[in-house]
Chain A
Amino acid sequence: MNFRTLLAIGGLSIAFSAPAQEPIRVGSFLAVTGPAAFLGDPEQKTLELYIEKLNAAGGLLGRKFQLFAYDSAGDAEKARGYVKRLIEQDKVDVIVGGSTTGETMAAVPLAEAAGTPFISLAGAVVIVEPVKKWVFKTPHTDRMACEKVFVDMRARGATKAALISGSGGFDRSMRAECLKVAAKNGIQIVADESYGAGDTDMTAQLTKIKNTAGVQAVLNAGFGQGPAIVTKNYRQIGISAPLYQSHGVASKQYVKLSGDAAEGVRLPAAALLVADTLPDSDPQKKVVTGYKRDFEGRFKQEVSTFGGHAYDGLMLAVEAIRRAGSTNKAAVRDALESIRGYVGTGGVVNMSAQDHMGLDLSAFRMLEVRNGDWMLVK
């Protein structure tokens, strides 16, 4: 095939494609590599999968979607650079991204200055508190996770708890939030230990907790392999108080890594993890089983709630653009803020001018590991 035929074919395909409409440009920056890759990887896959599905279904407003996604590797400076690229060079209409809080917070001033709607996929409370005009988020906050756990501890009669957390951003932020809301929820934190990134053994920290008088429950804030090592060491040195994990390990992988040691561990998580065992009456049943089927069918790997956050972020953006009837940024922002009763994988979203996340404690389910699977705690 020579150059001229190539040109001709190129010309034909342009001629036959739908009326030349500007695509809807969706920007994203995710930690696809680096220590937070387990967040960014399913998020990226989800965005690619659903952009493809949306386009196969004809797009929106007669326009196709186009995804601009960069790997920020969990690095705030890289994230900043790519967000500038998204805004200045790719001229995106909306940004759905930011796997970690550090990346998100580095990008916030840029989105605010440029007036680009930005839906973050990161956890910490600081992202939406205080409310920032152009910034929204889909995951539950770490403060909600603390409260959910503390409420459950109280229900089981515990008032004195120990904390063990990693040294990453997620871990330190959740630790700080838990320390803040503990007293309000009637919990006294009597031990506060931490472990480093890449640590291979936490028996020293746990031995200290074991020897602290009066510990009735233990909460581990962290993600990755750390919590799995904590869980195994916890059983090894034989602490009898119940162990709670955070929503950071809300994937089947945690159960797989910890093995038998995970039995009886509780954690707060989205309904997505127990999609198949949800009662049919549950409002989220349809959304979460649908997402699970799509994701697992395509990628042959188990869903995690993190990919679900990306699903929610993209769908909220799509819904806002549909309501706004255009990609006018101010109109899309206003539409985002007015979304109520949207059912996503993370819960039922009720946005408002005061709440740019729109989830309450009911969005979190308390789960327990039983026989190597998640069970809803009734």
Chain B
Amino acid sequence: MSSALAQYLLAGLTLGAIYALVALGFAIIYNASHVINFAQGEFVMIGGMAAAVFVESGLPLYLAVIFSIGTATLVGFALARFAVEPARGASVVTLIIITIGAAILLRGLATLVWDKKIHPLPAFSGDQPIVLGGATLLPQVLWVLGATALAVALLSWFFNRTLTGKAMLAVSHNRLAAQLVGVSVRRVLLVSFALSAALGALAGILIAPIAFTSWDAGVMLGLKGFAAAILGGLGSGPGAIAGGLALGLIEALGAGYLSSAYKDVFAFLIILAALVFLPNGLFGRRATERV
């Protein structure tokens, strides 16, 4: 393997892991409520910004991480409780517009509560690159990959082993049936937003030492995360991860071997082509419609 290829693959994996985390957030909320949460990118931003500002104010890194995930979780919970839940029963498009409004509101709040500057976050274990098969990677990349893997493992445990997790799965399969056996759909909605916000915040914190963070850092990451979630198949956990990694690798390899100016064009062309041949994404369930 040439060292250039190794470098492209590493770059793609790092990007892909972050996209996967954001995509998982989309999937969890979609399963619980069939809402596409366009404020998912803002959770990423809140995680990164809060952590950066906490560290700047002198907090140790681990506390900053815990507090910023907590902040984002609260915001996610509040969004579900005060904006999405009161509008239950509204059409899906209406709910989407509510989340778009929320995204604008949260970006605005970020500029007021914090500022419009770009903030760095110190890398968790230094900036000394590690050489690997002719390619180099930053220790932070290992943190990104490791933390993503851990988050996925925890989620899988949560959904398969805990009552709340199982209830959420049940709602995603059949809302009415779940309700009939006593699952609180309302609680599932609140938990799904809180969980998605925590995941998004984690992604924001992990990427901030590599790519910095600012009040508008969530826009592009949210967009790519949505693309990854769709590519993988909406509502599918493994799909979100596969979609995220695929998108990251396509971008990095496209930039390396084809044209860096058009790498996003390749990525979206491939997504379009994939959708035409796999209308429900890589791992999506075949949608059935009730008449």
Contact = CB atoms under 8 A, between A and B. Distances in A.
Asked whether any CB of A lies within 8 Å of a CB of B in the complex, the reply is: yes
B220 A204 contact: no
B118 A201 contact: no
B219 A207 contact: no
Contact of A205 (B15, B111, B260): B260
Interface in A236-282: 236-238, 253, 256-257, 259-261
Given A200-B210, A200-B211, A237-B136, A257 B118 contact: yes
B221 to A, nearest CB: 7
B253 to A, nearest CB: 8
A204 B18 contact: no
A22 B254 CA distance: 60
A112 B271 CA distance: 46
A229 B4 contact: no
A201 B14 contact: yes
A198 B220 contact: yes
Interface string B118-133: 1010000001010000
A208 B260 contact: yes
Contact of B263 (A196, A203, A235, A237): A196
Interface string B247-291: 000011101100011011000000000000000000000000000
B116 interface: yes
Contacts, number: 100
Contacts of A102: none
Contacts of A259: 120, 127
B51 to A, nearest CB: 15
A113 B1 CA distance: 62
B61 to A, nearest CB: 16
B8 interface: yes
Contact of A196 (B111, B127, B221, B264): B264
A260 B221 contact: no
A37 B217 CA distance: 13
A204 B135 CA distance: 11
B11 A167 contact: no
B212 A228 contact: yes
A224 B8 CA distance: 24
A39 to B, nearest CB: 11
B269 to A, nearest CB: 15
A253 B136 CA distance: 26
B196 interface: no
A197 interface: yes
A79 B51 CA distance: 35
B127 A195 contact: no
B211 A253 contact: no
B127 A260 contact: yes
A182 to B, nearest CB: 18
B66 to A, nearest CB: 23
A35 interface: yes
Interface in A282-334: none
B207 interface: yes
A338 interface: no
B118 A211 contact: no
Given A38-B117, A207-B4, A238 B252 contact: no
Nearest to A211: B4
B137 to A, nearest CB: 8
Contacts of B264: 196
B255 A204 contact: yes
> Sorted from nearest, which 7 A-B pairs have the closest CB atoms?
A198-B220, A200-B211, A204-B255, A37-B116, A194-B261, A225-B212, A204-B256
Interface of A: 33-35, 37-38, 41, 167, 193-201, 203-205, 207-208, 211, 224-225, 228-229, 232, 235-238, 253, 256-257, 259-261
18 contacts: A33-B116, A198-B217, A199-B211, A200-B15, A200-B211, A200-B221, A211-B4, A224-B118, A225-B214, A228-B212, A229-B211, A235-B129, A237-B129, A237-B135, A237-B136, A257-B118, A257-B120, A259-B127
Given A199-B220, A204-B255, A253-B118, 11 more contacts: A33-B111, A37-B116, A197-B220, A200-B207, A200-B221, A201-B14, A201-B211, A205-B255, A224-B118, A237-B7, A259-B120
